[in-house]
Structure 1
Amino acid sequence: MSEPILSLNDIGLTLAGNAGAVEILHNISLNVERGETLGLVGPSGSGKSSLLMLMGGLERATSGQVTALGHDLSALGEDALARFRREHMGVVFQSFHLIPTMTALENVATPLELAGHADAFDRAEAELKAVGLEARIGHYPGQMSGGEQQRVALARAAATRPDILLADEPTGNLDGANGAAIMDLLFGLRDRHGSTLVLVTHAQDLANRCDRVVRLEDGRIVEDSARKAAE
């Protein structure tokens, strides 16, 4: 069997709070296989988003080890982590994190330029067309709806053709119609680029589309189930 693309071994996360240290995650061990779609579900405060941040090297574990593509993320400095994410990961948040002074095209092209791609703007344009925004390429975030801004964020995450695509409540700020459209686009991008997809969601219909669902409660995994084992 091939090596997991993501591996978490006995992970703990403790953060400082106003009343003292708060344990967010407890002894989490989890492997994610290449090409898998994994949904992280559970009540608010269960540690889902924190777990996703650890997978992306956006938060450092207090204990244990996080390995991505064979690299121990805890052993990488901030600059090396940033380069690793830029080259291998795409991240989509509930809030879109677009740069307001840049057009949709510039928002998508910027990470490609930083990664040294000479065809950054051509690739950015292709990704925006893939999410149905060819008519919005020259628009700024403030000129777009929430659903359109999330499409730009998806295009930006997918433009680098990441090995790992992480999404934190990607439909959380959208109405039902826009949320359904983003769900379709998210899985379409995953299929087109062959990325491993890990997403945090409260939406059961979105979780049901994943190959596997992991449920967290109080910072612990309480269920790990394959949804499509029979397919």
Structure 2
Amino acid sequence: MTASSASESASQSISPAGAIVTLADVKLTLTSTAGPVNILRGIDLSVAPGERIGIVGPSGSGKSTLLAVLGGLEGVSSGQVRVAGADLNKLKEDELALWRRQRIGIVFQAFNLIPTMTALENVMVPMELAGAADAEARAKAALAQVGLAERETHYPAQLSGGEQQRVALARAVAPKPALLLADEPTGNLDGSTGQTIIDLLFGEAARLNSTLILITHDQSLAERCDRVVRIEDGRIRSIEPGKAVLAQAAD
């Protein structure tokens, strides 16, 4: 396959029948005192199981809102939203919460740890809420996987920023999610610490065979993914292959 043919195939949608994510003409309009605000303006996207997707675009383009839609945190005004085996438009709030705990892992820019809980307890919370009998064992394994086996009993205030984000990553991957979402996960970290988090993120997604959808302002980071989706003004402007895919195609 040539680099040009790889680019053409990357811009095409994955067959919805085999997709873990299918968005069809997704629109989201919010009301404000100045009138309606169109956040998403007709998003069409299919993602294959195990694929790594980088989402880039200017601030205010709708990237984080799109991720919130994928995670069932934000409803849409119209359009089809099928994610990890569920039609999100048909789920009630309690059904969405259970689906999210079982099928989705989310890593935010802010660590979002509970300050009164230890690292181990923070990782256990979503699994306990989902009724997992082995929540503690899985949380311990996840913390060990990100290099924090010796920090289980530490509280967030006793951890560095990088360690807190590793706890957040462990919390996201411990349930072995089908889909892993990350919204600027290195935004609050220095360069070397951020690189460690990214390597762990990609490594855990590969180990679990989880689909990864990553928002970043770093084009070089996005290009580590299989495809790079550029969003502007609530619309997908382009979908291109990542550098690794182009390199393989050129061989």
TM-score by length of 1: 0.97
Structure with max Cα Rg: 2
Question: 2:207 aligned to 168, 192, 195, which one?
Answer: 192
Amino acid at match of 2:51: E
TM superposition shift of 1:99: 0.6
1:90-169 alignment to 2 at 5 Å? Answer: 90-169=105-184
1:188 counterpart SS class:
helix
Deviating more after overlay: 13-22 vs 148-157? 13-22
Structure 1: give runs of 5+ residues left out of the alignment.
none
Q: CA RMSD in A?
A: 1.2
Aligned match of 1:205:
220
TM superposition shift of 1:205: 2.4
2:191 is aligned with 1:176? yes
Aligned match of 1:63:
78
1:81 counterpart SS class:
helix
Question: 1:25 aligned to 40, 47, 55, which one?
Answer: 40
> How many Å separate the matches in 2 of 1:31 and 1:73?
15
Amino acid at match of 2:229: V
Aligned match of 2:28:
13
TM superposition shift of 1:35: 0.5
Question: 2:61 aligned to 24, 31, 46, which one?
Answer: 46
> How many Å separate the matches in 2 of 1:57 and 1:116?
20
1:127 counterpart SS class:
helix
Amino acid at match of 1:146: G
Instruction: Flag the 1:140–1:18 CA change in 2: closer, same or farther, 3 A.
Output: farther
TM superposition shift of 1:18: 3.6
> How many Å separate the matches in 2 of 1:71 and 1:127?
26
> How many Å separate the matches in 2 of 1:225 and 1:205?
13
> How many Å separate the matches in 1 of 2:228 and 2:116?
38
TM-score by length of 2: 0.89
> How many Å separate the matches in 2 of 1:230 and 1:134?
37
> How many Å separate the matches in 1 of 2:31 and 2:179?
29
Identity among equivalent pairs (%) = 60
CA contact (8 A) 2:27 2:76 kept: yes
> How many Å separate the matches in 2 of 1:64 and 1:73?
11
Amino acid at match of 2:77: T
Aligned match of 1:217:
232
Structure 2: give runs of 5+ residues left out of the alignment.
1-14
How many aligned positions are there?
A: 231
2:79 counterpart SS class:
strand
> How many Å separate the matches in 2 of 1:156 and 1:213?
26
Amino acid at match of 2:149: E
> How many Å separate the matches in 2 of 1:58 and 1:153?
18
Q: Which has the higher helix share?
A: 2
